[in-house]
Structure formats: structure tokens, C-alpha cells
Structure 1
Amino acid sequence: MSKAPGSIFSRLAAWSHRNLPTRESMEKNRLLRPVAHRVLAPELWRFTRRSVPRGVALGMVAGILIPVAQTPVAAVFALPFRANVPTAALTTFITNPLTTPPLWIAAYWIGSSLLRLDEHVPGQPVAEAAARTEWIPWLMQAGPATALGLLVITIVCSIGGYALSALGWRLWIARKWRNRHDNRGVSVS
């Protein structure tokens, strides 16, 4: 059974609408209570061509680097950058129980290749430590590599998310203008 091409986008839009934080839910959040008057400012809840990409980039930063309370942290991050709060909060869902393990594995792989850990030490110390279940030494060695990898992934994803959302916004507005002109009977060349 095939589905209509637009159905995935409509389902994604419906999911986003269901999970998008409301001003009321942010107001009730006890972590945001000290800054609620700033987070609930109307200009931070408007969807504009500048605030949405900023929200996406900040949501990526909070979602990847912050292990807990990502949504409130993204909302607080949105304040000084005048980013869209709902977009920043929704983008933190990029990390979830399904995406976090592959993300951390990729972060370790990127970090260890940048630090060249296996070249400085004979053998494969991380694999050997994991096989012997010596978790403390393994974590002490894997920690810096994973942290560096997470930082690299965060930078790349934030810049990419910013660029893609800005491009998406531009294409969406262009399509709206084209439809408006087509409805008036004026063709756009």
C-alpha cells in the first residue's frame, strides 16, 4: 500500500505540532521559572526568517551537548541570541534513546581519529579495556575523545541545521509568492 508523497510531511508537521512546547507549558516549568518573564517574551515566539534558523542551531547544541533538561536549556540559550524558543526546544528531540548510542559511537570514532589515540599507544587499548570490562580506565581514555567528537558533531550539525532551515525558509516563502502570483493570473518567469 503506497502512501501519498506529502503524507510524510503532514505526519511530521502533525508530530511537531503535538510536541511543540506551548507558552503555558514553558511557564509551568520550574527550571524556567527564574527566567520565565524573558523566555515568554512575544518576540521569541514569532516565526521569522532569522529566529527559526537560530532556534534550530541552538536546539542542536542543547540536544547534542546537554545530557539532561535539554528543552529548558535550549529555551534559555534562545534568550541572548533572540532565537525562536519553540523551534529551539523542538530541535532538541534530535537526540533520543534511538539516536544517542550511534551519536556517541560516532563521536568517539571522530574524537579518537582527531586525537590519533590508537597511533600513540601500541595495540588497541580501548577495545582491550572493553573486552576486560575495566570500565574506569576505558572511560578515562574514551572521555576526551568522545567529548571532542561531540563538539565536532555539534558544530557541524548546528551549522548544517542553520543553513538547511534558512534555505527551507527561503524556498517556502518563494513557493508562497509563486502561488500567490499564480492565483492572480500573473506568471512568474
Structure 2
Amino acid sequence: MAKRIIQRLFPNHQAVKEHKALRFLGRWLHDPSLWHLNRRSVAGAFAVGLFMAFVPFPAQMVGAALLAIVFRVNLAISVALVWLTNPLTIPPMFYFAYLVGTWILGSPAPHDGNFHLTAAWFQAEFSHIWRPLLLGSFVVGSTLAASGYFAIRMLWRIHVVHRWRQRLRRQHPDNLS
């Protein structure tokens, strides 16, 4: 059921292959594993997408697409999951990553209350926050990627076992309870 929903939501892979903005990827887009919806491909796509969502740089979608090609996982899911970072979620996500980075490095997080989400503040403070932000982003992104990968594989397995049991019950209703 989820597979059918995903297939309806995402664009036709032939249209994506022929899109003129993606022509630079050439023959790499013709790898069938980029378009399959199976346990390995979807779980890997979740790992790529969740990791790239925590990369604090622009062009996360391009990075997700390139990693999907390298790891040969579902391209559409990898790129779509990057949209977890959007204007509403970026501040709490990267602040959490920053706090994780300060905790790992053992450096205190600033609590002076002079936080202003402006370009000038960011330029002035970047030299102080870049190490914990990058380290925290890597740790949180890697942790979520691994968690997402194993969660999808487990949920996919549970779904398959459930479907097999339903099929057996329909075929042999008197033998199974």
C-alpha cells in the first residue's frame, strides 16, 4: 500500500531523466536502482535524505541526489527528505545540532541573550559557532541516518511478514488461527 502511494506522489522517472536541468548527470540517471522501491533502496534513501537534511550548507538537494547516485538508492525519496529542513524547521534543527556539538567539544553554549537571526549577527558569530555546528550536524545527521535506515528496514520487514500471514490466512483459513 505504501509503495503505491509513493509511486503516485513522486514524478515519473522518465520525466526526471529527460529534465534539462538534470542532463549533466547523464547516464547516471539511467541506473534502474535509483527508481526502485524496495527495502534496500528506500532504507538507503532515508539514510541519505536524513543525513543531508542536517548538512548546514546550501544545495542540500544536489548533495542528496549525488549521494543517492553514489549509493544507488531511490533518488526521489532522498531528495524529498531534504525538505525536512525548511524555513520553519531550520532554526530548531541547527540549534539542536549546535548544542550537540558544544556538548561533544565541551565548550559552553553562549547564553548571553544577544541572539539575533540576522546576517550581521551570523557573520560576527560564525567564527565561534562553526566547529560545534558542523560537528553537531554531522553527529545528529549520522545518528538520524542510521536510525532511519534501520527503522525503514524493520518496518518494511514487519509489513512483508504481515502481508504473507494475511495471504496464508486467505489461502488456508482452516489451518491458521
Fold shared by both chains (TM-score > 0.5)? yes
Given the alignment, which residue of 145, 166, 169 partners 1:179?
Answer: 166
In the aligned structure 2, how far is the partner of 1:150 from the partner of 1:173? 34
2:38 counterpart (33, 48, 66): 48
Distance in 2 of aligned mates of 1:91 and 1:152: 18
Q: For structure 1, which segment, 44-53 or 85-94, has the greater mean C-alpha deviation from structure 2 after superposition?
A: 85-94
- Map Cα deviations across residues 50-98 of structure 1 (whole Å, 9 max, x no partner): 1111111011122221533333322221122121212212222222222
Aligned CA distance change for structure 1 residues 180 and 66 (closer, same or farther; 3 Å): farther
Aligned to 1:5: none
**Percent identity, aligned pairs only?**
26
Specify the code of the residue in structure 2 equivalent to 1:153: V
Q: How much is the aligned-residue C-alpha RMSD, in angstroms?
A: 2.9
Q: Distance in 2 between matches of 1:15 and 1:47?
A: 9
Higher relative contact order (CA 8 A, sep 6+): 2
Q: 2:29–2:69: 8 Å Cα contact kept in structure 1?
A: yes
Structure 1 stretch 140-149 or stretch 152-161: which is displaced more?
A: 140-149
**Contact 2:56 2:134 survives alignment (8 Å):** no
In structure 2, do the counterparts of structure 1 residues 39 and 166 end up closer, same or farther at CA, with 3 Å as the change threshold? same
Shift in CA distance, 90/111, structure 1 to aligned 2, threshold 3 Å: same
Map residues 1-189 of structure 1 onto 2, 5 A cutoff: 17-18=8-9, 20-23=10-13, 24-25=15-16, 27-28=18-19, 30=21, 32-65=22-55, 67-118=57-108, 126-128=110-112, 130=114, 135=121, 136-186=123-173, 187-188=175-176
How big is the shift at 1:35?
A: 1.3
Unaligned ranges ≥5, structure 1: 1-8, 119-123
Q: What secondary structure sits across from 2:38 in the alignment?
A: coil
59-68 or 109-118, larger mean C-alpha shift: 59-68
* Letter matched to residue 128 of structure 1: D
Secondary structure at the residue paired with 2:172? Answer: coil
Change (3 A) 1:128 1:70: same
CA contact (8 A) 2:33 2:41 kept: no
Q: How many residues align?
A: 171
Take 1:114 and 1:43, find their aligned partners in 2: how far apart are those partners? 37
- Structure-1 separation of matches of 2:88 and 2:6: 17
Counterpart secondary structure, 2:112: helix
Residue number in structure 2 paired with 1:121: none
